[in-house]
Amino acid sequence: MSANLLVILPVILPLTMAGFCAVFWLRPDWQRWVTVIGMALLAAAGIALLLAVREGGVLSTQPGNWAAPFGISIVADPLSALAVAAAGLVAFAASVYAFRGVDQNALHGGFFPLFCGLMVGVNGSFLTGDIFNLYVWFEVLLVCAIGLLVVHRDGINLDAAVKYAALNLFGTILFLTGVAFLYGAAGTLNFADLARIVPQMEASPGLTFALVLFLLAFGVKAAAFPLFFWLPIAYHTAPPIVSALFGALLTKVGIYSAMRVFMLLFEGTTGVVGEVVVWVAAITMVAGALGALIQTDLRRMLAFLIVSGMGYLMMGLALSTPEGLGAASFYLIHDIIVKGAVFLLAGVIAVAAGSADLTKIGGLIRTHPVLAVIFLGAGLSLAGLPPFSGFWAKVLVADAAFDGAKPVLGGIALGTGLLSLMCVAKIWMEAFWKAAPEGMRVTARLPRVMVVPATLLVLVSLAIGVYADPLIELANAAGAGLADPSAYVETVLGAGQ
């Protein structure tokens, strides 16, 4: 397979599957199979792309054969290839879960076309080499996400969708306005061209304003403090499969975009901006973990833990060192996989116990011991304990903070890990260990198509934790590529010549 096709395949595949699902609109059972086959191919394409980038370095193609920086650039470097591969694995797991985890309203309302469309937006955001097209992919992602929230036709989901849409549209407007100011100052929108031009420019009001707008826009998209309140409102009300897709992917697109834009255009976060990002990262970590600790609804607790995880990812951007960015790249992959797993497991727990309210359930270790073991693995990874991927993710981030002369930030990262462990312990004690409350409805037999996908993701986390070296090597390459984008620039502009 040619490198040009391999780079664009993660966008073409889900787009094609969305078209097939629309053609089979009256046959939801066919849509299921189209989606699961498409997501399996997407996961395989993501892994193939990752291996190709590992062997050959940055890959780029120009659809339409318009030379960069004038045409549309699609670019895969170690960071984007890692993100696409992890997203493909979660999408495949969710597509299998969808055999039993989607209600009839959603099936007949376009769930599967929207699912495939969401993956088009996610992978397009990861692979785009153009800042305006990043906005376009944001819009594709946002439209499909709102559709997935309302397709179940539940009043509480409609309320969540309105709040989600309002805040994210606000963030999108900020981003598009920043793009306009950036174009006015630099005269180009291609990432590689901007990376060549912007660092050489004199400071100007337009460039400064663009930087501030990008900071705010990505803060909304990534659910950073104090702009995160929309996330717990929206995510915990959605069906488990939608929460899993959102929790694993949507905020990661926001922080990925922030890393890409700030490292390519502004050479990282320095000066006042750097100090702001440091403290925003620290407060986001702690606020998310504390918010999770006081919850009694399982999925709302997990939603707050998404916020906490975004603080760890922001640390890499705050440090703006190859080590910090590499650690954040590793954490990004870990977080995509584990957040997908825990939200799918939250759905399984709700089926097993009849509720996601921790005060109303219990005793699952006796009725569903296999589920207890699987969740324990996911929880240990979420808390950052060995032998799972979360251990390396949090150790690498904290170590980068200590090496980057930010010991307070490193200490906060380790302390927040302890708070996360307390959250996992609370879930375990309430849902699994304590006696079942009177009147709890237990489902004796759980659908395998709901249990197996989450198990697959937990096993991936375990494999990463046990055999961490290859992923650490790729993450370090991603961090080095962000810190020194010369290879990215040369590949994209050279591909267009």
| DSSP, residue by residue, 272-307 | HHHHHHHHHHHHHHHHHHHHHHT--BHHHHHHHHHH
* pLDDT at 270 (0 to 100): 64
Of 494, 492, 495, 452, nearest in space to 189 by CA: 492
pTM for the whole thing? 0.93
C-alpha to C-alpha distance for 450 and 470, rounded to whole angstroms: 30
Report the run of H or E that residue 347 belongs to, with start and end: helix 322-353
253 pLDDT band, cuts 50/70/90, is very high
pLDDT at position 496 over 50: no
As a whole number, the mean pLDDT across the chain is 88
Of 461, 479, 470, nearest in space to 403 by CA: 479
ω into residue 69 within 30 of 0, thus cis? yes
- Compute the average pLDDT of residues 70-75: 87
pLDDT tens per residue, range 335-382: 999 999 999 999 999 888 888 888 888 888 988 899 999 999 999 999
Other beta carbons within 10 angstroms of residue 2's beta carbon come to 7
pLDDT at position 102 over 90: no
pLDDT tens per residue, range 144-192: 998 888 887 666 667 777 778 888 888 889 999 999 999 988 888 999 9
Percent residues over pLDDT 90 in the chain: 51
